[in-house]
Chains A and B, each alone.
Chain A
């Protein structure tokens, strides 16, 4: 299948050598952005929303996260790591935050800051925004949700809250702070430790006419292993690290389910998990939802506790975060500092829809192709078996009319043609090989 070049930054890549073309990923992709061809999974990048569902599902770990090389941090004299509260919750409770921070310093960072530090001031802005905006306002926190709306629900794009997510505000605070210290910009490296690939994409190609000051994104799964290994090896502490752990209970809970919605006035809902989010957005699009002011929508079950780069069980992580929050106050000491510059810089511009060109950009052609596809669908068995390398009979029909697949890719039709003597066995095998690869037909001994 021909894959179009993209203008969107991709946060995932399929490593061909490891991919066994099993199609597990294809079946979970919420935008049908995956196909199997020549025995390998392929991503249609324009349709990908960086939710990471495919990564979660891949049995061979053939899907690689396009994070930044860790050694890049040493390009900077001052190396700040923005740590999300889910990171500390990866560890069991008997490993102290102090010990974790010491290790982070030992690994090379000069300062550590809690990402959710900006929440206390952001929340006032959010409430102000929600009072004046088109309802219901959809939180801009989860980048996978923002992209889902852009791609699958273009009519709801205007409901997305046009305020920057907390990581960006915290990063900007750091930029400013170091500038005030008189440190040249090129000496400061701000790195974000991410629990998901959505945030990688969000930092590298943000929406709403914005450029992120974050210099690099570190994969939390990778970093967890690095820190845990150092912990196990009991490495000695030789370096000083500045720890800015000003954070409130609100901040810690913000990335968990309900953590944002409960701080917003009016009628709010918190919905987590991709399927639940999609179902609700369908209803919203059909105008079946009335009187809701604010929607906290998160792609992952248990929100960021269930992020794809999380190592520990998501329920335990969420519990750990609640536990930590209960030891903290409702507001932290830097809040007035944040407020001083917050409202000036946190607004983003209009977010553009990213409509999927399903059939054709030209409407006349699109209608003709769609009619053909509807005809084809009547021929296909409608069981969405996936043996054709497309996620559903409907998707195969679309691919066929776009000349990106062949009608004979359908094993049901092919069997029919074979039976009628219209297709030879050799031809049928060749077709199967072109989808699932030659190796698939070598007899295996299990």
Chain B
């Protein structure tokens, strides 16, 4: 099953709408609550990253009985040093973003902790794509 969502940069009030819709779908499929939690956390962080750091993006979710594959693609500044971005506590978030409670530098590490497969492809000046996979069993 394929679901898609659009994400607008800077729109913090709608950040989380993709993850809560995916959550609903997974609940209706009776997926194990602990797995749903991992999906929601990973997707939410990735979604917020587009809102906080990129201009716009889209999310494609593919659900099968083996698991969920999430593909997030954005148009944005890209990540110059992925290794650094992946370290806990590293953040380039602006003061305004921090004031909204984001910018602890925990998003990417959290995605990594909660997923079975996680890859980042990024081109500086163009955009970033994430591939997140979480297995159901």
**A interface, CB within 8 angstroms of B:** 154-155, 157, 282, 285-288, 353, 355-359, 361, 363-364, 366-367, 370-371, 374
Is A286 a contact partner of B65 (Cβ separation < 8 A)?
no
In the complex the two chains form, is B28's CB within 8 Å of A286's CB? no
Partner of B28, one of A155, A288, A353, A370: A370
- With both chains docked as a complex, state the minimum distance between the C-beta of B105 and any C-beta of chain A, in angstroms: 17
Closest 8 pairs (CB-CB, A-B): A155-B33, A358-B28, A363-B65, A364-B65, A154-B33, A366-B29, A371-B1, A355-B30
By secondary structure, the B interface counts as helix
Q: Flag if B44 contacts A358 (CB, 8 Å).
A: no
**Which residues of B are at the interface with A, using a C-beta cutoff of 8 A?**
1, 16, 19-20, 23, 25, 27-31, 33-34, 36-37, 40-41, 44, 63-65, 136
Please, which residues of chain B bring their CB within 8 A of the CB of A370? 1, 25, 28-29
Q: A286-B44, A370-B1 are in contact. Are A154 and B27 (CB under 8 A)?
A: yes
What are 16 of the A-B contact pairs (CB < 8 Å)?
A: A155-B34, A155-B36, A282-B20, A286-B16, A287-B40, A287-B44, A357-B30, A358-B28, A361-B30, A363-B29, A363-B31, A363-B65, A366-B28, A367-B63, A367-B64, A370-B28
7 extra A-B contacts, CB within 8 A, seeds A286-B44, A363-B29, A363-B31? A155-B37, A282-B20, A286-B19, A356-B28, A370-B1, A370-B29, A374-B1
A154 neighbours in B (Cβ, 8 Å): 27, 33
Closest A residue to B36 by beta carbon equals A155
Nearest-neighbour CB distance to chain A for B4, whole angstroms, equals 12
The CA of A161 and the CA of B92, in the complex, are separated in Å by: 40
B40 touches A286 (CB 8 A): yes
Question: What's the minimum C-beta distance from B135 to chain A, rounded to whole angstroms?
Answer: 12
Query: Which residues in A have their C-beta under 8 angstroms from that of B16?
Result: 286, 288
- Residues from chain A with Cβ under 8 Å of B29 in the complex: 358-359, 363, 366-367, 370
Count A/B pairs, Cβ under 8 Å. 52
Tell me the nearest residue of chain B to A362, going by C-beta. B65
Consensus secondary structure, chain A interface = helix
Given contacts A155-B36, A287-B44, contact A366 B30 (CB under 8 A): yes
- How far apart are A398's CB and chain B's nearest CB, in angstroms? 8
How far, in angstroms, from A367 to B28 measured CA to CA in the complex?
10
Q: How far is the CB of B17 from chain A (nearest CB, A)?
A: 10
Query: Is there an interface contact between B44 and A359, defined as CB atoms closer than 8 Å?
Result: no
CB neighbours (8 Å) of B23 from chain A are: 285-286
Q: Which of A286, A353, A366, A370 has the most CB of B within 10 A?
A: A286
The docked-state distance in angstroms from the alpha carbon of A364 to that of B136 is 12
Q: Contacts of B33 on A, CB cut-off 8 Å? A: 154-155, 157, 353
**Chain B residues with Cβ under 8 A from A357's Cβ?**
30
Complex contacts, A359 vs chain B, CB 8 Å:
28-29
- Bound-state Cα–Cα, A238 to B71, Å: 78
Chain B residues, CB < 8 A from A361: 30
Closest residue of chain B to A282 (Cβ to Cβ) is B20
Residues of B within 8 A of A285 (CB): 23, 40
* Cβ–Cβ < 8 Å partners of A366 in chain B: 28-30
For A368, give the chain B residue with the smallest CB separation: B1
Q: A286 — which chain B residues lie within 8 A by C-beta? A: 16, 19-20, 23, 40, 44
